[in-house]
Structures are given as structure tokens and as C-alpha cells.
């Protein structure tokens, strides 16, 4: 294990739906299909969305630091299949992640969003996040990535 991550509690959350739901599963890569379990009534499912919850401080390699240095968690690797967008899958995962973090004593939730991704920013704002800080153009350029916002939500 990387020493920088030793103090972190990390959980991957995956949102699924029955694979027969053509409205959600349309256009999904076959690798999104999850096998059914061994119970007779089990239905195969497809993965629609996922995110990671990283609980602990400091988050390794974190350049933007929020004002809350303890009792915090970061969401990362948030993704949603195109067919499941704007249907509540990502929002459900964000809310689940917040409840999971709160159950572990977390009171502050953070996520980064690229300045040029207004759809993601709208998702997080609708989920109760607000802008805490913004990465400068120079800082983003030095790190070789698009400018990001650090968004914050109390939980």
C-alpha cells in the first residue's frame, strides 16, 4: 500500500440497474454487464455509475486545500454511463456517499470539477455543493490539466 494513502478509508460505490432495462442499458459497453449471483431469482445487472469516497485528511497529492482540515471526505472518479445521465443515477450515488461518510463521522464533503464541465458543476450544485475555491490558470498549466473548482458540501 502506498504510504500516503495508509490513513485513508476508500470506498468505491457502484450504481446498477437490471440489465433488461433497455432505456438505461442502451449503448452500454458489454463490460458494464455484471453477472447474476447464484440465487434462482437473481437478475443480471449493469453498472450505470460509480464514484469513490476518500475519507481522511490530507488527501494525498491534493493541491487545493479546503478550509476544513478534519472530518472530511473527497469524492473522486465520478462517472455515469451516457444512457443513464440526467436520470438520477449520479445524484443517488452522491447522496449515498454523503450518508456513508456521515456515518463515519465526516462533516465536510469535497469534489473537484473542471471549470469547462458545466454539466458536472450543475449536478454538484443541485446536490448541495458550492464553490469553495478555484484553481488559477497558472497553477493548472503547471500541473498540465484544465482549471478546476473545489466544491464543498456540509453533511
Domain ranges of the chain: 3-154
Q: What per-residue confidence (pLDDT) applies to 111?
A: 94
Judge contact between 42 and 36, C-beta under 8 A.
yes
Indicate the pTM of the whole model.
0.81
Radius of gyration in angstroms for the set of CA atoms belonging to the chain, rounded to a whole number? 17
* Residue 41 vs residue 48, higher pLDDT: 48
The arithmetic mean of pLDDT across residues 119-128, rounded, is 96
- pLDDT bucket at 69, cuts 50 / 70 / 90: low
CATH of region 3-154, choose from 3.40.50.2300, 3.40.50.300, 3.30.70.100, 3.40.630.30:
3.40.630.30
CA atoms within 13 A on the CB side of 94: 24
Q: What per-residue confidence (pLDDT) applies to 34?
A: 76
* Residue 76 vs residue 9, higher pLDDT: 76
Q: What per-residue confidence (pLDDT) applies to 85?
A: 85
pLDDT tens-place string over residues 76-114 = 999 998 878 888 899 999 999 999 999 999 999 999 999
Please state whether beta strands 72-80 and 108-114 pair in parallel, antiparallel, or not at all (unpaired): parallel
- pLDDT bucket at 32, cuts 50 / 70 / 90: confident
Amino acid at each position: 500500500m502506498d504510504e500516503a494513502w495508509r490513513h485513508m478509508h476508500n470506498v468505491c460505490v457502484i450504481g446498477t440497474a437490471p440489465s433488461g432495462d433497455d432505456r438505461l442499458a442502451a449503448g452500454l459497453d458489454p463490460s458494464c454487464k455484471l453477472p447474476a449471483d447464484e440465487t434462482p431469482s437473481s437478475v443480471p445487472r449493469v453498472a450505470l455509475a460509480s464514484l469513490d469516497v476518500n475519507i481522511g485528511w490530507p488527501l494525498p497529492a491534493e493541491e487545493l486545500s479546503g478550509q476544513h482540515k478534519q472530518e472530511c471526505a473527497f469524492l473522486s472518479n465520478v462517472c455515469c454511463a451516457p444512457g443513464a445521465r440526467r436520470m438520477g443515477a449520479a445524484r443517488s450515488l452522491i447522496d449515498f456517499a454523503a450518508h456513508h461518510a456521515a456515518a463515519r463521522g465526516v462533516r465536510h464533503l469535497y469534489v473537484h470539477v473542471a471549470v469547462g464541465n458545466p454539466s458536472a458543476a450543475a449536478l454538484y450544485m443541485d446536490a448541495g455543493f458550492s464553490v469553495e475555491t478555484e484553481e488559477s490558470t497558472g497553477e493548472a498549466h503547471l500541473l498540465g490539466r484544465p482549471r478546476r473548482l473545489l466544491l464543498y458540501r456540509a453533511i
